[in-house]
């Protein structure tokens, strides 16, 4: 088991990966927006079967409309959303075998940059349409290639809406409008120093 094979209680390293994302509630479908994941992590062994991990990463999220300029498409006029966050996941990890562990946790993210493009493809450079904080849950799996490198796959989903307009009285507690939420599937390499 990777965690128990080390004498020290604390470990750390770097993270490099790719996010594929969508914004639920933007009337587009599919994980069409790719983004960068870059950061670091530290973990502490709690027992021989579990550990606690804290990460700080830069991550890009949003949604991409491949048909934004195609007037024949049903997606014409639906926006392209690009969001960059500093994100802090806190994860409880369960060691299943020598090479495999599961993870479950929550993460808080601070928006550092965001924009959307309108129905003719022009970029509106403003953060105002987006909430500055994103709280989400995370579920993942980690596969160890060796003691220093692991491959991670993680699904995350916002708990609260990410758009300012989602908090209007007429949208969040009413009728069919549930708001917009970040959803990502992340693929990362973890290097243990």
Q: Bigger pLDDT: 85 or 114?
A: 85
- Read off the pLDDT band of 156 (50, 70, 90): very high
Q: Give residue 91's pLDDT.
A: 98
Vertex 43 angle, CA 37 and 45, to 5°: 150
Tokens matching residue 55:
């990460």
* Cβ-Cβ contacts under 8 Å for 106 (sequence gap 6 or more): 89, 90, 135, 136, 137, 138
Question: Which of the four pLDDT bands, split at 50, 70 and 90, describes residue 71?
Answer: low
Among 3-17, 18-32, 104-118, name the most confident range.
104-118
Q: How many other C-beta atoms lie within 10 A of the C-beta of residue 19?
A: 24
Strand, coil or helix: 170: helix
- In sequence order, what are the residues at sequence separation of 6 or more whose Cβ sits closer than 8 angstroms to the Cβ of residue 94? 49, 50, 101, 102, 103, 104
Contact between 127 and 114 under an 8 Å Cβ cutoff? The reply is yes
Q: If you average pLDDT over residues 33-60, what whole number do you get?
A: 96
In whole angstroms, what separates CA 157 from the centre of its chain?
7
Domains recognised in the chain with CATH numbers: 3-192 (2.40.160.20)
User: What is the length of the chain?
Assistant: 193
Q: What is the distance between the alpha carbons of residues 77 and 165, in angstroms, rounded to a whole number? A: 18
Q: Distance (Å, rounded) from C-alpha 168 to C-alpha 170?
A: 5
- State the average pLDDT over residues 164-172: 58
Structure confidence at residue 178 (pLDDT): 73
pLDDT digits (tens, 9 = 90+) for 169-192: 544 433 446 788 999 999 999 999
What tokens were used for 71?
Answer: 């007037």
C-alpha R_g of the chain: 19
| pLDDT at position 79 over 70 | no
- List the beta bridge partners of residue 169: none
State residue 16's pLDDT score: 98
Can you tell me whether residue 169 is helix, strand or coil?
helix
**Cα 150 from Cα 82, distance rounded (Å):** 28
Higher pLDDT, 143 or 117: 143
Q: Tell me, what's the pLDDT at 120? A: 53
> Contact at 8 Å (CB) between 179 and 157?
no
Contact status, residue 117 vs residue 124, Cβ threshold 8 Å = yes
């Amino acid at each position: 088991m990777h965690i128990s094979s080390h004498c020290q209680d604390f470990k750390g390293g770097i993270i490099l990966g790719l996010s594929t994302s969508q914004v639920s509630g933007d009337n587009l479908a599919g994980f069409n927006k790719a983004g960068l994941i870059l950061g670091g992590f530290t973990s502490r062994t709690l027992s021989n079967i579990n550990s606690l991990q804290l990460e700080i990463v830069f991550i890009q999220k949003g949604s991409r409309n491949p048909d934004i300029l195609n007037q024949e498409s049903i997606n014409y006029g639906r926006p392209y959303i690009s969001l960059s966050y500093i994100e802090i996941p806190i994860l409880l990890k369960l060691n299943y075998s020598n090479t495999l562990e599961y993870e479950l946790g929550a993460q808080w993210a601070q928006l550092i940059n965001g924009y959307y493009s309108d129905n003719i493809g022009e970029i509106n450079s403003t953060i105002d349409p987006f909430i500055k904080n994103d709280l989400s849950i995370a579920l993942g799996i980690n596969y160890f290639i060796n003691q220093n490198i692991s491959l991670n796959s993680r699904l995350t989903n916002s708990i609260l809406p990410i758009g300012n307009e989602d908090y209007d009285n007429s949208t969040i507690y009413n009728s069919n409008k549930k708001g917009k939420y970040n959803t990502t599937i992340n693929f990362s390499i973890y290097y243990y120093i």
